[in-house]
Amino acid sequence: MYRNMGKKLSSLILILCSGLDVQTVLAGNQHNNHHTLLKDNEHLSAYVITLSAGPVWTEGGETQTFFLQPDVEKTYTADNSLPALAEGALFLGIQRALNTRIQGQLGVELAAASNARLSGDIWDDADPVFDNYTYRYHIQHSHIALKGKLLMNTGHIVLPYISGSIGIGSNQARAFIITPKNSAAVPTPAFLSHTESGFTYTAGAGIQKALSEHWHAGVGYEFADWGKNNLAPAPGQTMGQGLTLDHIYTHQLQFSLSYTV
C-alpha cells in the first residue's frame, strides 16, 4: 500500500515537471535572471539554510516467530496499515554554481520524525488458535546526514532538482505494551526499550521556485531508509532479542523553504 503511495507521489512530481512548458513564456524574464546569476557567480559560493517538512508514509512491521525460553514460543503478527507521520528537517550548507545551468548544494542535515506506532497480535505457541493478545509500541527516528542537492536551470519558472544523503540514524523503540484479549490470558513480561544507531540514507526529486533574490520554496518527493531498530529482551527472557526490523522504508511529500546569503 505505502509503496503505491510512494509511486503516486513520484508521479505527482513528474506531472508537475512535465507541465512546465506551459509556463515558458511567463518565465522569460526569470530565466534571464537565473542565467545571469549563475554566470556571474560561477566561481562563488553562498550559504543556504533550508527548513523542510511534510507527511511521511511507512509500512508496518513484519510477522516474527521466535522462542523467548526453550519451552515458550510466540508469533507476533504485524498490522500493515499505519497512520501518516510527520517529519521535519534543517539543512545548513553551501551553494555553488557548477556551470551556467546547474547549481550544487552540499551540507549537513538534521531531521526528526513523529512516533511510528506499530501494532499486531500475539499467538501463544506460534498457533493462530491461541491468538490471545495484542501488542503495540513506538519507534522514534532522528538522523544527522551529509546531504547534496543539484538544481538545473531549464529555462522555466521553476528549477527541477534531485537530492540525496547518507548519515547516521537513531531509532528508539519504546513503550511496548501487551493487552490480553480475554480475562483468562496472562501476558508474558513486555520487551524493554532500546535505541539502535546505524546507517541511513535518502533520495529525492522535486521542483524549486525563487520567491525573491534570497528566498526559495520547493515541493518534492523523498524516499528514506531509516535503518535498523529493535526492542531489548523482556525480563526473564533467555533466548533471542525483542521484535526487530532491519529496515524501515518511508515515502515523504516534502515542502521546503530556503534562504541563501
pLDDT in tens, 215-233: 999 999 999 999 999 999 9
CB 194 within 8 A of CB 175: no
Q: How open is the CA angle 140-145-146, to the nearest 5 degrees?
A: 170
- Average pLDDT on 131-153 reads 97
How would residue 160 be classed by pLDDT, with cut points 50, 70 and 90? very high
Phi then psi for residue 234, to 5 deg, are -75, 155
pLDDT score recorded for residue 248? 93
pLDDT at position 209 is 95
> How far is the C-alpha of 160 from the C-alpha of 153, rounded, in Å?
8
Taking alpha carbons only, the member of 241, 107, 245, 256 closest to residue 171 is 245
Please tell me the least confidently modeled range out of 22-26, 91-95, 169-173.
22-26
List, in sequence order, every residue forming a beta bridge with 45; answer none if it has no partner.
96
Domain extent, residue 198, equals 2-260
Between 156 and 256, where is the model more confident? 256
Tens digits of residue pLDDT in 195-215? 999 999 999 999 999 999 999
pTM, two decimals, is 0.80
Of 215, 251, 232, nearest in space to 49 by CA: 215
Q: Residue 217 sits in a domain of what CATH number?
A: 2.40.160.20
Instruction: Summarize the confidence of residues 123-144 as an average pLDDT.
Output: 96
pLDDT class of 27 with cuts at 50, 70, 90: very low
pLDDT in tens, 73-129: 999 999 987 889 999 999 999 999 999 899 999 999 999 999 999 999 999 999 999
Which amino acid, residue 49? Answer: I
Q: Is the pLDDT of residue 4 over 60?
A: no
Q: Which of 170, 51, 161, 172 has its CA nearest to residue 109?
A: 51
pLDDT confidence bin for 169, thresholds 50/70/90: very high
Largest Cα separation within the chain, whole Å, is 77
pLDDT at residue 229, rounded to an integer: 95
Q: What pLDDT, on the 0 to 100 scale, is given for residue 35?
A: 41
Label residue 160 exposed, middle or buried (CB < 10 Å: 0-12, 13-18, 19+): buried
pLDDT of residue 11: 54
Number of domains forming the structure of the chain: 1
Cell of 253: 511529500
* Residue 183, pLDDT score: 82
CA–CA separation, 62 and 60 (whole Å) = 7
Q: Give the residue, 36 or 82, on which the prediction is more confident.
A: 82
Q: Average pLDDT over the chain, rounded to whole?
A: 86
The listed range with the strongest mean pLDDT (11-15, 27-31, 133-137) is: 133-137
